[in-house]
């Protein structure tokens, strides 16, 4: 990474034009921040399965995602030098990033990270042990593009250590919905829920060590060509029935059954990422609550935490500081100007939602107009004077006659 240190990665500069000032102001801190965009990019080497994974994650986060197909920085190792990731996130105005890579030493890796004040806050690397692309789920209706998902984070393993609590927080921050990046209304967000506007669920489950091992063993059993008849218990058979069919992972570039998979989850929780489409049916008679059915639409990603870089306690406190905590720390801090409500004068809204404004124009002072330098006005006055002299001459000739 010695070559990257010589690069000029600074993007903080002074704007010279009005448009540049507007762009830099939009990139700066806002009173009401928009949804964090996800920057998806490949590492130095990425297999086809990793590229398919990145494409599915991009589709999962649309329209708040940017797929960076190419970059000028060749050597990119976030855990060795994070300056490249900070530069790319700041340049593309993204608060989170996801990098996929695959090498002989570290195959099928996904790195999730997020920024605070244009600097890295925390970062987690995963080893993907199973992947089935969204294209494998045929015959099902896909969710609407840009719809806000319900994010479900479940599993006691998220509460096991401080690292996994931070992992749960970054997963919620990456996949949560929110205001559109194109134009969000200030203060948007409400506790009310419109059921017809929700059509998908992103479920992230953390399985304990025993649960992850059994889950992975059943998966390997089916991928190797086995059947659910050899699995004891109806509950285990029901869980195994939801797993991919044999060789489905290999069609999408997923990893086949191997000893590395069985040992990947040993002693580590298994993180399972799923996306479901919500299908609502009529509920019971006399009840307004609908009956909900979940239909899996992909992708399926099972991964194990490998390396991590947790947030510094002082920076974490600054990053999670809310308006209430700021007021408690210093009550004398003034509120931003954008938060103060301004009275809108001479502006009304019609029943159709159109905004109508009334403009008052002062009476113009014609004497202040510089008529001596107005070429068109000078020509017009000359024509009027010439026409007046001609009329006077004609009237004088008729009087003499």
Residue 254's CATH number? 3.40.50.10480
Residue 335 pLDDT > 80: no
- Closest to 282 in 3D by CA, of 192, 195, 194, 191: 195
What DSSP line would sit under 375-393, residue for residue?
Answer: HHHHHHHHHHHHHHHHHHH
- Closest to 261 in 3D by CA, of 299, 228, 230, 221: 221
Average the pLDDT over each of 89-103, 122-136, 309-323 and give the range with the smallest value: 309-323
Residue 260 pLDDT > 50: no
Q: pLDDT above 90 covers what percent of the chain?
A: 34
Residue 240 pLDDT > 60: no
pLDDT given at position 325: 58
Identify the residue with better confidence: 253 or 162: 162
pLDDT given at position 10: 45
Highest mean pLDDT among 128-142, 161-175, 211-225: 161-175
Mean pLDDT of the region 382-387? 91
C-alpha count within 13 angstroms, C-beta hemisphere, residue 216: 34
Residue 65 pLDDT > 90: yes
Residue 176 inside a domain? The answer is yes
**139-159 pLDDT, tens per residue?**
888 888 778 888 999 988 999
**166-179 pLDDT, tens per residue?**
999 999 999 987 65
Report in angstroms the alpha-carbon separations of 234 from 108, 296, 397: 33, 21, 123
Q: Tell me how far apart the alpha carbons of residues 376 and 366 are, in angstroms, rounded to a whole number.
A: 16
Q: Partners of 112 in the beta sheet?
A: 98, 124
pLDDT given at position 70: 80
Mean pLDDT of the region 232-257? 41
Average the pLDDT over each of 162-166, 186-190, 246-250, 264-268 and give the range with the smallest value: 246-250
pLDDT given at position 257: 36
Q: What is the pTM of this model?
A: 0.68
Average the pLDDT over each of 90-99, 170-179, 294-303, 311-320 and give the range with the smallest value: 170-179
pLDDT given at position 334: 54
pLDDT given at position 9: 45
**Cα–chain center distance at 73:** 23
Q: What is the DSSP letter of 148?
A: P
Q: Tell me how far apart the alpha carbons of residues 298 and 124 are, in angstroms, rounded to a whole number.
A: 23
Residue 376 inside a domain? The answer is no
- Widest CA span in the chain: 132
Q: Is the sign of the CA dihedral 185, 187, 192, 195 positive or negative?
A: positive
**Cα–chain center distance at 147:** 12
Residue 366 inside a domain? The answer is no
Average the pLDDT over each of 208-212, 309-313, 351-355 and give the range with the smallest value: 208-212
Mean pLDDT of the region 372-397? 84
Mean pLDDT of the region 253-278? 65
Indicate the average pLDDT of the chain. Answer: 77
Identify the residue with better confidence: 251 or 369: 369
How sure is the predictor about 249, in pLDDT bands with cuts at 50, 70 and 90? very low
- Closest to 41 in 3D by CA, of 92, 81, 83: 92
How sure is the predictor about 246, in pLDDT bands with cuts at 50, 70 and 90? very low
- Closest to 41 in 3D by CA, of 78, 71, 68, 77: 68
Residue with tokens 């008679």: 285
pLDDT given at position 237: 41
Q: Partners of 313 in the beta sheet?
A: none
Q: Partners of 119 in the beta sheet?
A: 116
Residue 184 — φ and ψ, nearest 5°? -105, 145
Average the pLDDT over each of 127-131, 332-336, 362-366 and give the range with the smallest value: 332-336
- Helices and strands (DSSP H and E) totals, the chain: 12, 12
> Would you say 265 and 304 are in contact if contact means Cβ atoms under 8 Å apart?
yes
Residue 239 inside a domain? The answer is yes
**274-284 pLDDT, tens per residue?**
999 988 888 88
Residue 349 inside a domain? The answer is no
Q: What is the DSSP letter of 63?
A: T
**13-33 pLDDT, tens per residue?**
688 899 998 888 877 777 777
How sure is the predictor about 215, in pLDDT bands with cuts at 50, 70 and 90? low
Residue 119 inside a domain? The answer is yes
Helices 209-223 and 234-241: crossing angle in degrees, nearest 10, is 70
H helix intervals, 135-258: 162-175, 209-223, 234-241, 248-251
- For the chain, the domain total comes to 1
Collapsing DSSP to helix, strand or coil, 300 comes out as strand
Residue 191 inside a domain? The answer is no
What DSSP line would sit under 18-66, residue for residue?
Answer: HHHHHHHHHHS--SS--PPPEEEEE-SS--HHHHHHHHHHHHHHTTSEE
Q: What is the CA radius of gyration of the chain?
A: 32
Buried b (16+ CB within 10 A) or exposed e, 168-194: bbbbebbbbbebebeebeeeeeeeeee
Average the pLDDT over each of 5-14, 152-161, 213-222 and give the range with the smallest value: 5-14
Residue with tokens 């203060």: 187
Residue 303 pLDDT > 90: yes
pLDDT given at position 319: 87
Neighbour-count burial of 93, counting CB atoms closer than 10 A to its CB (0-12 exposed, 13-18 middle, 19+ buried):
middle
> Would you say 72 and 1 are in contact if contact means Cβ atoms under 8 Å apart?
no
Domain containing residue 299: 33-180+196-321
pLDDT given at position 178: 63
Residue with tokens 């931003």: 336
pLDDT given at position 367: 67
Residue 265 — φ and ψ, nearest 5°? -90, 5
Q: Tell me how far apart the alpha carbons of residues 123 and 211 are, in angstroms, rounded to a whole number.
A: 25
Residue 284 inside a domain? The answer is yes
């Amino acid at each position: 990474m010695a070559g990257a240190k010589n690069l000029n990665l600074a993007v903080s500069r002074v704007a010279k034009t009005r448009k540049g000032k507007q762009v830099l102001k939009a990139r700066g801190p806002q009173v009401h921040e928009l949804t964090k965009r996800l920057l998806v990019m490949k590492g130095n080497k990425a297999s086809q399965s990793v590229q398919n994974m990145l494409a599915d994650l991009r589709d999962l986060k649309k329209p708040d995602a940017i797929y960076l197909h190419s970059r000028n920085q060749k050597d990119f190792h976030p855990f060795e030098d994070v300056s490249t990731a900070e530069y790319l996130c700041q340049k593309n105005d993204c608060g989170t990033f996801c990098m996929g890579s695959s090498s002989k030493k570290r195959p099928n890796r996904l790195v999730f990270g997020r920024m605070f004040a244009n600097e890295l806050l925390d970062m987690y690397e995963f080893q993907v042990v199973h992947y089935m692309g969204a294209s494998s789920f045929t015959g099902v209706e896909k969710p609407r593009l840009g719809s806000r998902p319900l994010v479900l984070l479940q599993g006691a393993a998220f509460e096991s250590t401080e690292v996994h609590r931070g992992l749960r927080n970054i997963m919620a921050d990456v996949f949560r919905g929110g205001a559109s990046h194109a134009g969000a209304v200030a203060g948007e967000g409400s506790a009310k829920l419109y059921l017809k506007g929700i059509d998908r669920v992103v479920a992230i489950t953390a399985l304990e060590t025993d649960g992850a091992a059994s889950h992975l063993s059943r998966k390997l059993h089916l991928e190797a060509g086995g059947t659910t008849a050899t699995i004891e218990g109806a509950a285990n058979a029901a869980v195994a029935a939801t797993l991919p069919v044999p060789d489905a992972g290999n069609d999408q570039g997923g990893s086949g059954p191997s000893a590395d998979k069985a040992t990947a989850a040993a002693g580590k929780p298994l993180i399972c990422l799923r996306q479901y489409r919500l299908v609502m049916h009529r509920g019971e008679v006399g009840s307004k609550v609908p009956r909900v059915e979940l239909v899996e639409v992909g992708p399926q990603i099972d991964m194990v935490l490998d390396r991590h870089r947790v947030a510094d306690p002082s920076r974490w406190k600054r990053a999670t500081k809310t308006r209430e905590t700021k007021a408690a720390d210093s009550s004398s801090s003034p509120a931003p100007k954008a938060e103060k409500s301004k009275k809108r004068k001479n502006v009304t809204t019609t029943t159709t939602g159109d905004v109508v404004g009334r403009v008052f124009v002062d009476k113009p002072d014609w004497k202040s107009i510089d008529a001596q330098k107005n070429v068109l006005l000078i020509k017009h006055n000359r024509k009027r004077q010439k026409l007046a002299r001609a009329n006077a001459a004609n009237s004088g000739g008729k009087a003499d006659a």
